[in-house]
Amino acid sequence: MTVVGAATRVLYVGGAGRSGSTVLGQILGQVPGFVHVGELVFIWRRGVMDNQLCGCGQPFLDCPFWTEVGERAFGGWTRDDANAAAAQQRRVERTRHIPALLAPSLSSGYRAELAGYAERMHRLYDAIRDVSAGSVIVETSKAPSHALLLRRVRGLSLAVCLLVRDSRGVAYSWTRRKARPEVAEETYMDIYSPQRAALEWTSFNAAFTMAPALGVPLQRLRYEDFVAHPAREIRRLVDFAAGPLVALPDIFGGESVTLSPDHSVAGNPVRFASGQVALRSDDEWRTAMPRGQRVAMTAMTAPWLLRYGYLGGSGAAGQPKSRPR
């Protein structure tokens, strides 16, 4: 039962792309009271306008879950409204808007745009909470600009999981061609150069270090620790987001996990996997990544690699900070 006026809890998974956020979100979505919605940053374009597949396998506009969310939040999904929302999102939420998101009072025009879009997101999140009857919404949009936007949405209790993966593994993954099954025509995920991957990896990790100073609880999780000890690390995240009284589902077995379909919007194609799914470190980069790229990536990201323990430093995943209330 939803408590009128209660805050909507959001566990936001931030960090660079290709760090394992989709499967992390899927597993968290199996926990009682947790609902995984994928990358809501893309809901207007990929969900409503392009009608791409939901994680449950149905087109977004045919999915009963999202149909009910749209009815509750906006009286139904319309292309015109989604187009207006996407345009408003571009005006307030891109990476270049981070300074304005931190200090919106410096521009009255931006402040008004931000307030309008934040109210739209407030209605969306309230509807997701009510339809799912979940106590914690897990979003895996990853970008720091979207997290800063959520900080401005009334009625949200925001906490951040910063998911970190070795930058060289991230860069190698970005060079691999991956099909997007949620799109009808033959389409592939973007490919990044190692230089672009290094820039995103470094800037995203740096940006999320601001979270505690902004009053947002932050928990760091290394991808490598997560796949090596999934039950332990999920327990730590659940305690962080909802407290120690939440029971974990019996889904972990050796090197695999048992997953049920969810209603994720956008994300890695692995979001369509269900049943027994293998969890592995995916360290092919150690042997397959060209030596020159590996050396360059190490040099470009060395300070953060050292900080996170990838170059022999301590780099422990860290103990939980204060839990969101």
51-74: pLDDT as tens digits = 999 999 999 999 999 999 999 999
- Rounded to the nearest integer, the mean pLDDT of the chain is 90
In a domain, 224, yes or no: yes
* CA-based max dimension of the chain: 57
In a domain, 312, yes or no: no
CA-closest candidate to residue 286, choices 229, 226, 224, 203: 224
Q: What ranges in 97-229 are assigned the alpha helix state H? A: 98-102, 108-132, 144-150, 167-174, 194-208, 223-228
pLDDT the model gives residue 318: 39
In a domain, 313, yes or no: no
Does pTM surpass 0.75?
yes
- Could you tell me the residue range of the domain that residue 208 belongs to? 8-307
Q: What is the mean pLDDT of residues 269-279?
A: 90
Region of poorest pLDDT, from 3-12, 32-41, 301-310: 3-12
- Residue 227's pLDDT band (boundaries 50, 70, 90)? very high
pLDDT the model gives residue 192: 75
Q: What is the mean pLDDT of residues 24-28?
A: 96
Report the CATH number that the domain containing residue 136 is assigned in CATH: 3.40.50.300
In a domain, 128, yes or no: yes
Q: What is the DSSP pairing of strand 275-278 with strand 256-259?
A: antiparallel
In a domain, 240, yes or no: yes
- Cβ neighbourhood burial of 19 (10 Å; 0-12, 13-18, 19+): buried
In a domain, 323, yes or no: no
CA-closest candidate to residue 47, choices 188, 182, 191, 184: 182
- Which residues lie below 8 Å from residue 136, measured CB to CB, with a gap of 6+? 9, 10, 11, 33, 34, 35, 241, 242
In a domain, 2, yes or no: no
Helix, strand or coil, per DSSP, at residue 140: strand
| pLDDT over 60 at 2, yes or no | no
* Angle in degrees, CA 220, 224, 228, rounded to 5: 115
- Residue 90's pLDDT band (boundaries 50, 70, 90)? very high
In a domain, 227, yes or no: yes
154-207 residue pLDDT tens: 999 999 999 999 999 999 998 876 555 656 565 645 667 889 999 999 999 999
pLDDT the model gives residue 324: 39
CA–CA separation, 35 vs 41, rounded Å? 16
CA–CA separation, 147 vs 211, rounded Å? 9
CA–CA separation, 214 vs 198, rounded Å? 25
Alpha-carbon separation of residue 229 from 226, 237, 255 (angstroms): 5, 12, 9
Q: Total structural domains in the chain?
A: 1
CA–CA separation, 35 vs 262, rounded Å? 8
101-136 residue pLDDT tens: 999 988 999 999 999 999 999 999 999 999 999 999
- Cβ neighbourhood burial of 188 (10 Å; 0-12, 13-18, 19+): exposed
